Amino acid sequence: MRQNPNPNRREFLHSCLASAVIAGGTHPLAPFFSPKEKSKVVIARDQLLRGAGSNPESDRLVKMLDRSMQALYAADTPLDAWKRVVRPGEVIGLKVNTLAGRGISTSVLLVEAICERLREAGIQEKDIVVWDRLNTDLESAGFRPTSRQGRIRYFGNDTLGYEDDLSIYGSVGSRLSKTLTQACDAVINLPALKDHSIAGVTIALKNLFGAIHNPNKYHLSVGDPYVADVHMLPPIRQKLRLHICDALTAQYEGGPSFMPQWTWPFNGLMVSLDPVAMDYVGWQIIEQKRTEKGMKSLQALGRVPNYISTAADVQHQLGTNDPRHIQQVEV
Protein backbone atom coordinates (compact mmCIF):
# COMPACT_ATOMS: atom_id res chain seq x y z
CA MET A 1 0.00 0.00 0.00
CA ARG A 2 1.37 3.39 -1.02
CA GLN A 3 0.05 6.60 0.46
CA ASN A 4 -0.42 9.68 -1.70
CA PRO A 5 2.36 11.98 -0.44
CA ASN A 6 0.32 15.14 -1.12
CA PRO A 7 -3.41 14.51 -0.69
CA ASN A 8 -5.57 17.60 -0.58
CA ARG A 9 -7.91 18.05 2.36
CA ARG A 10 -11.10 17.48 0.36
CA GLU A 11 -9.83 14.18 -1.04
CA PHE A 12 -8.75 13.06 2.41
CA LEU A 13 -12.05 13.91 4.09
CA HIS A 14 -13.93 12.17 1.30
CA SER A 15 -11.85 9.05 1.92
CA CYS A 16 -12.51 9.19 5.67
CA LEU A 17 -16.25 9.69 5.19
CA ALA A 18 -16.39 6.75 2.81
CA SER A 19 -14.58 4.61 5.36
CA ALA A 20 -16.99 5.74 8.05
CA VAL A 21 -19.98 4.70 5.94
CA ILE A 22 -18.43 1.29 5.46
CA ALA A 23 -17.63 0.93 9.14
CA GLY A 24 -21.03 2.11 10.28
CA GLY A 25 -23.03 0.25 7.67
CA THR A 26 -21.91 -2.74 5.64
CA HIS A 27 -18.82 -3.87 7.55
CA PRO A 28 -20.00 -5.64 10.72
CA LEU A 29 -16.55 -5.84 12.29
CA ALA A 30 -15.16 -2.31 12.09
CA PRO A 31 -15.94 0.01 15.03
CA PHE A 32 -17.33 3.46 14.35
CA PHE A 33 -18.04 6.20 16.83
CA SER A 34 -21.62 7.44 16.75
CA PRO A 35 -22.53 10.49 18.84
CA LYS A 36 -26.03 9.02 19.19
CA GLU A 37 -24.72 6.10 21.24
CA LYS A 38 -22.61 5.92 24.36
CA SER A 39 -19.10 4.56 24.00
CA LYS A 40 -18.62 1.56 26.24
CA VAL A 41 -15.42 1.16 28.25
CA VAL A 42 -15.31 -2.13 30.13
CA ILE A 43 -13.05 -2.46 33.16
CA ALA A 44 -12.43 -5.99 34.40
CA ARG A 45 -10.53 -6.44 37.67
CA ASP A 46 -9.52 -9.34 39.89
CA GLN A 47 -7.88 -8.50 43.20
CA LEU A 48 -6.81 -12.16 43.50
CA LEU A 49 -5.12 -12.07 40.09
CA ARG A 50 -1.63 -12.53 41.53
CA GLY A 51 -2.52 -15.09 44.15
CA ALA A 52 0.20 -15.39 46.74
CA GLY A 53 2.94 -14.27 44.36
CA SER A 54 3.87 -11.21 42.33
CA ASN A 55 2.99 -12.53 38.87
CA PRO A 56 -0.51 -12.73 37.39
CA GLU A 57 -2.12 -16.15 37.29
CA SER A 58 -2.87 -17.20 33.72
CA ASP A 59 -6.27 -18.79 34.43
CA ARG A 60 -7.55 -15.72 36.24
CA LEU A 61 -6.27 -13.46 33.48
CA VAL A 62 -8.09 -15.49 30.82
CA LYS A 63 -11.33 -15.31 32.81
CA MET A 64 -10.92 -11.56 33.17
CA LEU A 65 -10.38 -11.20 29.42
CA ASP A 66 -13.44 -13.34 28.70
CA ARG A 67 -15.65 -11.29 31.05
CA SER A 68 -14.55 -8.04 29.49
CA MET A 69 -15.14 -9.19 25.91
CA GLN A 70 -18.57 -10.58 26.69
CA ALA A 71 -19.53 -7.34 28.41
CA LEU A 72 -18.23 -5.16 25.59
CA TYR A 73 -20.20 -6.99 22.92
CA ALA A 74 -23.12 -8.12 25.12
CA ALA A 75 -22.31 -11.61 23.85
CA ASP A 76 -23.46 -14.96 25.21
CA THR A 77 -19.95 -16.43 25.14
CA PRO A 78 -16.39 -15.14 24.70
CA LEU A 79 -16.21 -16.91 21.33
CA ASP A 80 -19.31 -15.06 20.13
CA ALA A 81 -17.59 -11.81 21.06
CA TRP A 82 -14.35 -12.64 19.26
CA LYS A 83 -16.23 -13.66 16.12
CA ARG A 84 -17.49 -10.08 15.98
CA VAL A 85 -13.90 -8.82 16.00
CA VAL A 86 -12.22 -11.02 13.39
CA ARG A 87 -12.95 -13.28 10.44
CA PRO A 88 -11.06 -16.41 9.34
CA GLY A 89 -8.60 -15.62 6.58
CA GLU A 90 -7.69 -12.18 7.93
CA VAL A 91 -4.20 -11.39 9.14
CA ILE A 92 -4.58 -9.90 12.62
CA GLY A 93 -1.89 -7.63 14.03
CA LEU A 94 -1.51 -7.26 17.79
CA LYS A 95 0.11 -3.87 18.40
CA VAL A 96 1.82 -4.25 21.77
CA ASN A 97 3.64 -1.64 23.85
CA THR A 98 7.13 -2.84 24.81
CA LEU A 99 9.23 0.31 25.18
CA ALA A 100 9.62 -0.04 28.95
CA GLY A 101 10.68 -3.69 29.09
CA ARG A 102 9.11 -6.30 31.35
CA GLY A 103 8.13 -3.86 34.08
CA ILE A 104 5.35 -1.89 32.41
CA SER A 105 4.78 -3.37 28.94
CA THR A 106 1.98 -5.41 27.39
CA SER A 107 1.99 -8.72 29.22
CA VAL A 108 3.18 -11.84 27.43
CA LEU A 109 0.43 -13.76 29.27
CA LEU A 110 -2.22 -11.37 27.94
CA VAL A 111 -0.94 -11.73 24.37
CA GLU A 112 -0.95 -15.52 24.71
CA ALA A 113 -4.54 -15.44 25.98
CA ILE A 114 -5.66 -13.25 23.08
CA CYS A 115 -3.87 -15.47 20.56
CA GLU A 116 -5.69 -18.51 21.96
CA ARG A 117 -9.06 -16.79 21.61
CA LEU A 118 -8.18 -15.70 18.05
CA ARG A 119 -7.40 -19.32 17.15
CA GLU A 120 -10.73 -20.42 18.58
CA ALA A 121 -12.41 -17.75 16.42
CA GLY A 122 -10.86 -19.29 13.31
CA ILE A 123 -7.66 -17.27 12.88
CA GLN A 124 -4.73 -19.52 12.00
CA GLU A 125 -1.43 -19.06 13.79
CA LYS A 126 0.26 -17.99 10.56
CA ASP A 127 -2.23 -15.11 10.37
CA ILE A 128 -1.33 -13.57 13.75
CA VAL A 129 1.41 -10.91 13.93
CA VAL A 130 2.58 -9.47 17.26
CA TRP A 131 4.46 -6.25 16.56
CA ASP A 132 5.98 -3.04 17.87
CA ARG A 133 8.65 -0.55 16.78
CA LEU A 134 11.81 -2.59 17.42
CA ASN A 135 12.79 -6.22 17.77
CA THR A 136 14.96 -5.26 20.73
CA ASP A 137 11.94 -3.73 22.49
CA LEU A 138 9.99 -6.95 21.99
CA GLU A 139 12.87 -8.95 23.42
CA SER A 140 13.19 -6.68 26.44
CA ALA A 141 9.49 -7.20 27.22
CA GLY A 142 9.76 -10.99 27.09
CA PHE A 143 8.74 -11.72 23.50
CA ARG A 144 10.97 -13.68 21.14
CA PRO A 145 11.12 -12.15 17.64
CA THR A 146 10.47 -14.86 15.05
CA SER A 147 8.99 -15.21 11.58
CA ARG A 148 8.76 -19.01 11.47
CA GLN A 149 6.52 -20.23 8.70
CA GLY A 150 3.11 -21.40 9.87
CA ARG A 151 3.51 -19.99 13.37
CA ILE A 152 2.60 -16.76 15.17
CA ARG A 153 5.05 -14.09 14.05
CA TYR A 154 6.70 -11.62 16.41
CA PHE A 155 8.70 -8.77 14.92
CA GLY A 156 9.47 -5.07 15.07
CA ASN A 157 9.11 -2.52 12.32
CA ASP A 158 12.82 -2.87 11.70
CA THR A 159 12.04 -6.24 10.09
CA LEU A 160 9.88 -4.96 7.22
CA GLY A 161 10.74 -1.27 7.41
CA TYR A 162 8.57 1.71 6.49
CA GLU A 163 6.79 2.91 3.38
CA ASP A 164 8.81 5.17 1.10
CA ASP A 165 6.12 7.85 0.81
CA LEU A 166 4.81 10.12 3.54
CA SER A 167 1.27 9.83 4.82
CA ILE A 168 0.02 13.31 5.70
CA TYR A 169 -2.76 14.72 7.84
CA GLY A 170 -2.86 18.05 9.64
CA SER A 171 0.32 18.47 11.66
CA VAL A 172 1.87 15.11 10.80
CA GLY A 173 3.79 13.70 7.89
CA SER A 174 5.09 10.20 8.54
CA ARG A 175 6.18 7.02 6.82
CA LEU A 176 3.97 4.22 8.01
CA SER A 177 5.18 0.83 9.12
CA LYS A 178 4.92 -1.86 6.47
CA THR A 179 3.84 -4.20 9.24
CA LEU A 180 0.68 -2.10 9.46
CA THR A 181 0.19 -1.30 5.78
CA GLN A 182 1.24 -4.58 4.16
CA ALA A 183 1.30 -7.40 6.73
CA CYS A 184 -1.98 -6.83 8.62
CA ASP A 185 -5.61 -6.71 7.53
CA ALA A 186 -6.79 -5.55 10.96
CA VAL A 187 -5.14 -4.42 14.19
CA ILE A 188 -5.99 -5.01 17.83
CA ASN A 189 -4.36 -2.30 19.92
CA LEU A 190 -2.77 -3.53 23.19
CA PRO A 191 -1.43 -0.52 25.13
CA ALA A 192 -0.44 -0.27 28.78
CA LEU A 193 -1.96 2.08 31.37
CA LYS A 194 0.73 4.59 32.28
CA ASP A 195 1.82 8.15 32.78
CA HIS A 196 3.96 9.91 30.19
CA SER A 197 6.38 12.60 31.36
CA ILE A 198 5.88 14.63 28.15
CA ALA A 199 2.48 13.66 26.73
CA GLY A 200 0.59 13.32 30.03
CA VAL A 201 -0.54 9.74 29.56
CA THR A 202 0.16 7.02 27.04
CA ILE A 203 -2.71 4.60 26.55
CA ALA A 204 -4.69 3.68 23.40
CA LEU A 205 -4.18 6.71 21.17
CA LYS A 206 -0.48 7.24 21.69
CA ASN A 207 0.34 3.55 21.25
CA LEU A 208 0.04 4.03 17.49
CA PHE A 209 3.13 6.24 17.54
CA GLY A 210 4.69 2.80 17.19
CA ALA A 211 3.37 2.63 13.62
CA ILE A 212 5.30 5.66 12.30
CA HIS A 213 8.97 6.29 11.59
CA ASN A 214 9.28 9.66 13.37
CA PRO A 215 7.35 9.73 16.69
CA ASN A 216 10.15 11.82 18.22
CA LYS A 217 8.86 14.81 16.23
CA TYR A 218 5.40 14.74 17.79
CA HIS A 219 5.87 15.38 21.50
CA LEU A 220 5.66 19.16 21.38
CA SER A 221 2.69 20.82 23.12
CA VAL A 222 2.05 17.67 25.18
CA GLY A 223 1.44 15.74 21.96
CA ASP A 224 -1.45 17.94 20.82
CA PRO A 225 -2.64 17.70 18.03
CA TYR A 226 -0.07 15.18 16.84
CA VAL A 227 -1.44 12.09 18.59
CA ALA A 228 -4.92 12.71 17.18
CA ASP A 229 -3.60 13.53 13.70
CA VAL A 230 -1.60 10.29 13.52
CA HIS A 231 -4.85 8.39 14.06
CA MET A 232 -6.36 10.16 11.04
CA LEU A 233 -3.90 8.50 8.66
CA PRO A 234 -6.19 6.13 6.69
CA PRO A 235 -4.42 2.78 7.33
CA ILE A 236 -4.49 3.45 11.08
CA ARG A 237 -8.08 4.65 11.22
CA GLN A 238 -9.34 1.91 8.91
CA LYS A 239 -7.50 -1.07 10.38
CA LEU A 240 -7.86 -0.47 14.13
CA ARG A 241 -10.64 -2.73 15.32
CA LEU A 242 -10.40 -3.13 19.09
CA HIS A 243 -8.47 -1.72 22.07
CA ILE A 244 -7.46 -3.88 25.04
CA CYS A 245 -5.43 -2.00 27.63
CA ASP A 246 -3.11 -3.99 29.87
CA ALA A 247 -3.72 -2.51 33.31
CA LEU A 248 -2.36 -5.45 35.29
CA THR A 249 0.32 -3.10 36.54
CA ALA A 250 -0.22 0.64 36.02
CA GLN A 251 2.12 3.62 36.42
CA TYR A 252 1.11 7.10 37.60
CA GLU A 253 4.43 8.99 37.28
CA GLY A 254 7.75 8.79 35.45
CA GLY A 255 6.57 7.13 32.25
CA PRO A 256 7.03 5.94 29.64
CA SER A 257 10.09 4.28 31.21
CA PHE A 258 9.50 1.73 33.96
CA MET A 259 9.70 3.38 37.35
CA PRO A 260 8.69 0.74 39.91
CA GLN A 261 8.36 3.26 42.75
CA TRP A 262 5.41 4.81 40.88
CA THR A 263 3.57 1.67 39.83
CA TRP A 264 0.69 -0.13 41.49
CA PRO A 265 -1.15 -3.44 40.90
CA PHE A 266 -4.38 -2.30 39.28
CA ASN A 267 -5.02 -5.96 38.43
CA GLY A 268 -7.27 -5.12 35.52
CA LEU A 269 -7.97 -4.81 31.84
CA MET A 270 -9.75 -2.02 29.97
CA VAL A 271 -11.55 -2.91 26.75
CA SER A 272 -13.28 -0.61 24.26
CA LEU A 273 -14.00 0.11 20.62
CA ASP A 274 -13.40 3.80 21.30
CA PRO A 275 -9.76 4.79 21.91
CA VAL A 276 -10.72 8.32 22.98
CA ALA A 277 -13.13 7.11 25.65
CA MET A 278 -10.54 4.58 26.82
CA ASP A 279 -7.89 7.29 27.11
CA TYR A 280 -10.25 9.59 28.99
CA VAL A 281 -11.17 6.87 31.52
CA GLY A 282 -7.53 5.78 31.86
CA TRP A 283 -6.42 9.36 32.40
CA GLN A 284 -8.94 9.73 35.25
CA ILE A 285 -7.67 6.52 36.86
CA ILE A 286 -4.11 7.84 36.76
CA GLU A 287 -5.18 11.23 38.14
CA GLN A 288 -7.05 9.53 40.99
CA LYS A 289 -3.95 7.56 41.92
CA ARG A 290 -1.85 10.73 41.80
CA THR A 291 -4.29 12.36 44.21
CA GLU A 292 -4.14 9.35 46.54
CA LYS A 293 -0.35 9.63 46.56
CA GLY A 294 -0.41 13.37 47.28
CA MET A 295 1.03 14.29 43.89
CA LYS A 296 0.16 17.30 41.75
CA SER A 297 -2.37 16.85 38.98
CA LEU A 298 -1.27 16.77 35.34
CA GLN A 299 -3.06 20.11 34.99
CA ALA A 300 -0.87 21.65 37.68
CA LEU A 301 2.23 20.23 36.00
CA GLY A 302 1.33 21.59 32.57
CA ARG A 303 0.94 18.22 30.91
CA VAL A 304 -2.78 17.67 30.50
CA PRO A 305 -3.25 15.31 27.51
CA ASN A 306 -5.33 17.72 25.45
CA TYR A 307 -4.85 15.51 22.40
CA ILE A 308 -7.68 13.41 23.87
CA SER A 309 -10.18 16.25 23.40
CA THR A 310 -8.68 17.03 19.99
CA ALA A 311 -9.28 13.42 18.95
CA ALA A 312 -12.95 13.91 19.88
CA ASP A 313 -13.45 17.21 18.04
CA VAL A 314 -15.47 17.71 14.88
CA GLN A 315 -12.42 17.50 12.62
CA HIS A 316 -11.30 14.12 13.99
CA GLN A 317 -14.35 12.33 15.43
CA LEU A 318 -12.22 9.44 16.64
CA GLY A 319 -14.42 8.92 19.70
CA THR A 320 -15.76 10.78 22.69
CA ASN A 321 -14.15 12.30 25.77
CA ASP A 322 -17.49 13.44 27.20
CA PRO A 323 -18.25 11.43 30.35
CA ARG A 324 -21.97 11.87 29.63
CA HIS A 325 -21.44 9.83 26.47
CA ILE A 326 -19.23 7.16 28.02
CA GLN A 327 -20.74 4.03 29.53
CA GLN A 328 -18.22 2.67 32.03
CA VAL A 329 -18.94 -0.97 32.84
CA GLU A 330 -17.14 -2.86 35.60
CA VAL A 331 -17.11 -6.65 35.53
Q: Bridge partners of 37?
A: none
Residues in the chain where the model's pLDDT stays below 70: 1-36
- Which amino acid type is present at position 7? P
Classified as helix, coil or strand, 43 is strand
Q: What is the pLDDT of residue 148?
A: 85
For 184-199, b where at least 16 C-beta lie within 10 A, e where not — what string?
bebbbbbbbbbbbeeb
Q: What is the pLDDT of residue 12?
A: 38
Evaluate whether 207 touches 97 at the Cβ level (below 8 Å): yes
Please name the helix (run of DSSP H) or strand (run of DSSP E) that holds residue 167, with its range, or none: strand 167-169
Q: How far is 305 from 46, CA to CA, in rounded Å?
A: 28
Q: Bridge partners of 326?
A: 39
Evaluate whether 211 touches 236 at the Cβ level (below 8 Å): yes
Q: What is the pLDDT of residue 149?
A: 85
Q: What is the pLDDT of residue 278?
A: 98
- Which amino acid type is present at position 139? E
Half-sphere exposure of residue 181: CA atoms within 13 angstroms, side-chain side: 22
Q: What is the DSSP string of 235-277?
A: HHHHHEEEEEEEEEEEESSSTTS--GGGEE---EEEEES-HHH
For 279-289, b where at least 16 C-beta lie within 10 A, e where not — what string?
bbbbbebbbeb
Q: How far is 24 from 31, CA to CA, in rounded Å?
A: 7
Q: How far is 39 from 321, CA to CA, in rounded Å?
A: 9
> pLDDT of 285-297, one tens digit each?
999 999 999 999 9
Pairing of strands 240-251, 268-272: antiparallel
Q: How far is 200 from 251, CA to CA, in rounded Å?
A: 12
Q: What is the pLDDT of residue 28?
A: 40
Q: What is the pLDDT of residue 36?
A: 67
The alpha-helical segments, DSSP class H, found in the chain are 9-24, 58-73, 78-83, 108-120, 135-140, 157-160, 178, 226-231, 234-239, 275-292, 298-301, 307-312
Q: How far is 191 from 281, CA to CA, in rounded Å?
A: 14
What residues contact 245, with CB distance under 8 A and at least 6 apart?
A: 190, 191, 192, 193, 203, 204, 269, 270, 271, 278, 282
> Which DSSP category does 180 fall into?
I
Pairing of strands 192-196, 200-202: antiparallel
